[in-house]
Amino acid sequence: MRLPHFIRANVDSILDEWEKFAQAFKHAEGLDQTALRDHARGILLVICDDLECEQSSSERDEKSKGRAPPMPAETEAAMHGLSRYVEGFDVNESIAEFRALRASVLRLSVDSLALPSVAADDITRFNEAIDQAVAESLARFTDMKERRNRLFEALLSSSPDLNYILETTGAIIYANRAFSDVFQKIPAELIGNDFRSLCKPFVRDIERQLKSVVATRKTHRGEMFTQLDGGEERAYEYLLVPVFNPAGVCEAVAGSARDITERKASEERVRRSANHDFLTELPNRSLFRERLEHEIKHSTRTGLPLGLMFIDLDLFKEVNDRLGHAAGDQMLQEVARRISKCVRDTDTVARLGGDEFTVILTDVTLPDHIESIAAEILDELRRPFELAAGEASISCSIGITVCPGDGITPDELVRNADEAMYASKNAGRNGYQFFTVAMRGVGSGGPV
């Protein structure tokens, strides 16, 4: 009996035997019998057709050297390679399927005593045909794999994010274009380099995080601010992700980093605009309240008094009326600068709105300190203002209260300073007054 006839007559038994083996593959899980068997049956039948054709001695020679005549585009074996790629098989599993198929055919043909009558030539040709099928299947499989690699490479290369893969020791396995651009290299130059040697400014952090990702097997997320390319400082958010081999061992760490400098700057602008006055860039009313509460607690803790000043420009309306609103704005900006110059960085100058400013003086060790700053502010504001629309002069009225002497809550202190400022206006402007109990209820007393 010829081998092709044996295979055709026993194809189901051969496939039953083969299937027991093929089902054990990790990636065969979830595949039904039809999907698993389809190509195996097809491949066997194609081989049978081939064995049944006469073969010249030169064809036999070529085939035995692995040079079969060119096949049509999609042979059954090539389709097998494509399916196995899509189903997620690995190369070894794919090759093992063919070995098992060969073994099943040969063993069953021996067991059923068909062998003595099977022509030796059929066996040789069968082996060659199986080798040919392996080659076709693998060619298609690797073709797909290479294509996928090419596409992933294109995807990663075109990404503006920095993408890279590291050995667990820190050596670079892969770096995309954005990553290598930052270090002013081409990607190939980076392969094999130790990642830590590129990132000197934060080498300790990276070393610690790399170890931790490998040890904990968990993704690490972080943000860093650095001058990676020696230029201006930039902000990055980054991920370090452990990559596991099929045995579950962490074999590499995949990293990506995104430049978030612009986003951070815009968040900072939003944060500032919520807390700062647009015109003068000083803290606004809400930040002033927050700082005052904070400084009262600080004063209670340290036992050092705190001074609060309310400053209102005198007859500011006349500047607006004479030189225009824009000139008034310019004066308010300059007033903010001049007041800020009179105090320490740790003090707070705020604009509550209109022509009203406040100053929180912290850690007042000498009682005279507040008075001398008030005098300095008065002097500063008395100096003429060179505005775009012309020269202008102004003065201001200042009300002062002290914590804990005059009060210990924000509301009390604000009311006191406001009333003292009104007392100063009433006393003829261009001066300062400390709060006294006698002033209570005389000023505007509005809430701040």
Residues found near ligand GTP in the complex (CB under 6 A): 279, 312-317, 320, 325, 328-329, 332, 354-355
* Cβ closest to ligand GTP, residue 162 vs residue 387: 387
d(CA 151, CA 93): 24
Residue-wise burial string across 227-258, b where 16 or more C-beta atoms lie within 10 A, e elsewhere: ebeeeeebbbbbbbebeeeeeeeebbbbbbbb
CB 222, min distance to ligand GTP, A: 42
| CB atoms closer than 10 angstroms to residue 60 | 14
* Cβ closest to ligand GTP, residue 42 vs residue 324: 324
CB 390, min distance to ligand GTP, A: 14
CB 348, min distance to ligand GTP, A: 20
Q: Which amino acid is it at 182?
A: V
* Cβ closest to ligand GTP, residue 139 vs residue 389: 389
User: Is the distance from CB of 250 to CB of 242 less than 8 angstroms?
Assistant: yes
What residue number has its CB nearest to ligand GTP?
A: 328
CB 262, min distance to ligand GTP, A: 30
User: Is the distance from CB of 348 to CB of 360 less than 8 angstroms?
Assistant: yes
| CB atoms closer than 10 angstroms to residue 152 | 10
* Cβ closest to ligand GTP, residue 62 vs residue 329: 329
* Cβ closest to ligand GTP, residue 253 vs residue 335: 335
d(CA 208, CA 251): 17
User: Is the distance from CB of 81 to CB of 140 less than 8 angstroms?
Assistant: yes
d(CA 109, CA 387): 106
* Cβ closest to ligand GTP, residue 274 vs residue 326: 326
Residue-wise burial string across 431-443, b where 16 or more C-beta atoms lie within 10 A, e elsewhere: bbbbbeeebeeeb
CB 340, min distance to ligand GTP, A: 17
- The token pair at 25 is 């593959």
Q: The tokens 């009390």 sit on which residue?
A: 412
d(CA 193, CA 172): 6
Q: Which amino acid is it at 8?
A: R
* Cβ closest to ligand GTP, residue 328 vs residue 399: 328
* Kind plus residue range of the DSSP H or E element containing 37: helix 33-52
* Cβ closest to ligand GTP, residue 127 vs residue 320: 320
Half-sphere exposure of 43 (CA within 13 A, CB side): 31
* Cβ closest to ligand GTP, residue 271 vs residue 317: 317
Cis peptide before 305 (omega within 30 of 0): no
